[in-house]
Amino acid sequence: MDTRNSPAAPRVPWNKGKLTGQKPPLKLKEIWAIRIRLQMSANARELALFNLAIDSKLRACDLTRLLVQDICHGGQVAARATVTQQKTHRPVQFEITEQTLESVDAWIRIRELCTSDHLFPGRLHASAHLSTRQYARLVHRWIASIGLDDSAYGTHTLRRTKAPLIYRRTKNLRAVQLLLGHTKIESTVRYLGIEVDDALEMAEQTEV
């Protein structure tokens, strides 16, 4: 049968049936729900990864490629670290909270990692570090474990989680912009989901 003149099958959009757009951040109670589950399961690797993802606010591509030496100084996990972002090539600094420090330190000791090693090694010989795809699967599993619809969340959820908490506490838009490593304050405004005019007015007030 000649099918040369048959109409081509319609292409199915890649995002059909998927929720796209900005991923919502986790709420404080949701952070703790996931953290407690990882603690109870004694999963040192995933607990360290989850805690550091929240604290660092790094994109998946930067988080998965971290080296031990990026966050350790003198054999100890530092309270503050600076990482150059792949996307912008700009350095971004972040604080490492006590609970994150403890979980990351425990993971490094369990895995016996050296300073030049990747902090989250890949489990396949072909990959030196955890891939962004593997990380995404973990994030979806964490989200689903606390009863949320994981299709509405993604790796950017963890990057976005701490910024709104800091903003609500400080109302300092410029500080949040620096913490996220954004070059434009408008990007930070979109992340926080606030009105542009209100945000810029607040930013100007903090500079007075």
What's the pLDDT band for 8 if we cut at 50, 70, 90? low
107 and 202 assigned to the same domain = no
194 and 101 assigned to the same domain = no
132 and 178 assigned to the same domain = no
Q: For the chain, how long is the longest CA-to-CA vector?
A: 77
Residue 122 has what pLDDT? 86
Report pTM.
0.76
What's the pLDDT band for 10 if we cut at 50, 70, 90? low
134 and 53 assigned to the same domain = yes
Residue 198 has what pLDDT? 47
70 and 149 assigned to the same domain = yes
Residue 47 in domain: yes
Residue 203 has what pLDDT? 45
8-state DSSP, 124: S
Which residues are CB-neighbours of 164 under 8 A, at least 6 positions away? 25, 191, 192, 193
128 and 108 assigned to the same domain = yes
pLDDT, tens digit, for every residue of 17-46? 444 457 788 999 999 999 999 999 999 999
- Look up the domain containing 82 and give its range: 28-161
Residue 88 has what pLDDT? 85
Model confidence at 15: pLDDT above 50: no
Residue 11 in domain: no
50 and 148 assigned to the same domain = yes
Amino acid at 203: A
Task: Report the distance separating Cα 114 and Cα 206, nearest Å.
Answer: 42
150 and 208 assigned to the same domain = no
What's the pLDDT band for 56 if we cut at 50, 70, 90? very high
Residue 54 in domain: yes
Contact 65, 129 (CB under 8 A): yes
145 and 193 assigned to the same domain = no
Residue 120 in domain: yes
198 and 122 assigned to the same domain = no
33 and 114 assigned to the same domain = yes
Residue 49 in domain: yes
CATH code at 52?
1.10.443.10
Contact 40, 32 (CB under 8 A): no
Residue 79 in domain: yes
Place of tokens 């006590």: 98
Q: Is 70 exposed, middle or buried (0-12, 13-18, 19+ CB in 10 A)?
A: middle
97 and 115 assigned to the same domain = yes
Residue 101 in domain: yes
Task: List the single range of 32-46, 56-70, 151-165 with lowest mean pLDDT.
Answer: 151-165
Structural domains of the chain, count: 2
Place of tokens 């670290």: 81
Residue 97 in domain: yes
Mean pLDDT, to the nearest integer, of 76-98?
92
